[in-house]
Chain A
Amino acid sequence: MTGRGGTAPKLAPYAFVAPAVVLFVLVFALPIAYTVYLSLFRTEVKGLGLGRGSRSEVFVGLDNYVRALTDAELGAGAVRVVAYGAILVPTMLGLALVFALLLDEDRVRARGFSRIAIFLPYAIPVVIASLLWGFLYLPGTSPLNQLLDALSLPGVNLLSPAGIYFAVANIAVWGGVGYNMVVLYTALRSIPRDLYEAARIDGCTPWQVAVRIKIPLLAPALVLTSLFSIIATLQVFVEPTTLAPLTNSLSLTWTPLMKVYQDAFGRGDIYSAAATSVLIAAAMFALSFVLLRVTRSRAFGGER
């Protein structure tokens, strides 16, 4: 405790966090502030819009926000992302939980192999993953259809307007299930083993141990993985963007973030893009806050 009163520890932490804070301001804070600023403006074109000074930035208050909130395509995109998330998050976390619990069972075989194999897709770039699955979905190269064909069953087209939700969700499940499995498995390994022994002596089956002891103790890790998964879901962009060249079912504004990109670089309207960006970020903050609030007391057992 001698250091507490000294002068060095008072300045040292500030010196240590300074580089990160400076970079954070440059890479995160400044661009975010600039986005908020842009969202309040619009380009006004005078006359034919030719020549210097014919275009100027004018302050329009919350106009861009009103237009974004009443934009039909943006609303439809939000609905599509929610539908996609409703398929993706429960499937991915459900599978991750099952795999983690199975890995934690001593009597299961091929655990090392399965753990690596299931985690491997995490190392594959989303663009590459989307591209691989894209080829696997294409009716011309799809092994699923070759199988169905061999069984004289009608083929399925996952690149159809309805199938596309499953097509995109499958890519995300494939890429994310291993990561979540490892998070949950790491949490499971930190539970004292004697808890299970006690339960076993009391006659609990492995199933009962999993449901009554392991899953409740995993609650904090499940909350965090759900939160990260939902955030990642709302940010979906790369998968549909990469699949788009292969199908007509994916418009360039399929998700809200794709619309932001189109607004900014397709139509050159950075002001609308900025307003939509702020709305998306605000929605994410609100959602995370509510989710943590609702689950905190339960998940952390009042520890905080």
Chain B
Amino acid sequence: MPTLSLNQVTIRYDGEPRPTIGSTSLTIDTGDFVVLTGRSGCGKTSLLNVAAGFITPSSGTAGIDGRSITTPGADRAVVFQNDALFPWLSARDNVSFALRMRGMPKAERNRRADELLERVRLPKAGGKAVWELSGGMRQRVGLARALAADPDFLLMDEPLGALDALTRERMQTLLLDIWAGANVGVLMVTHGIEEALLLGTRGAVMAPDPGRIVRVIETGFGRRYVAGEPVRSIKADKDFIAGRAELADAIFDGEPA
């Protein structure tokens, strides 16, 4: 059971008076669903990029079980806000990309890709070109592509940010189903307060100048969904409503709305 940990990570860019991220720590275990939220520009994506290995912190360490993260790797697959699919490949070939990089034979990786497409409920999309798919379908292909790498951690940067509200609700439960069925630790960045509350086992609120985690809220609503409770009933729960207010307060830090 690997653990991903960020220890006192700071990110400082040349010419910027303050660090983008100032001494922030975060730990994600297998089975965790950690949601990072906060206002725009508070460094949520930067922190995720450190975990992904896209940026090296100015100080502090990022590592998995003591091995430090220096480059991106298939143990930490990433889902991007703008899907970042490869438009020259079919949906199936996008999904099997990680397997192709490992040299898996074509027949086997196609079979695997079709299984994954079924898991994200796109059983018939394999042969489709990326531009034939809607935003929601593209995100699901992106999710299947990340899962194909069989990662220990799934890092998602506002995966539902560009979707319309209805598609978004469907995708939230899909994410929970996928998380429940895969042995992964999830780190997800979102702007949505309800989304953070519903999906996460833990919600971490960040504040800007410098970007840092100011509040961590343990939530268990995602687990309740996985255990069988309908989303409507979870969202109507007074704990959920109180949690939403608490999270909003933490995000806006007493600012008048």
Report whether chain A binds chain B.
no
Report A's interface with B, CB cutoff 8 A.
none
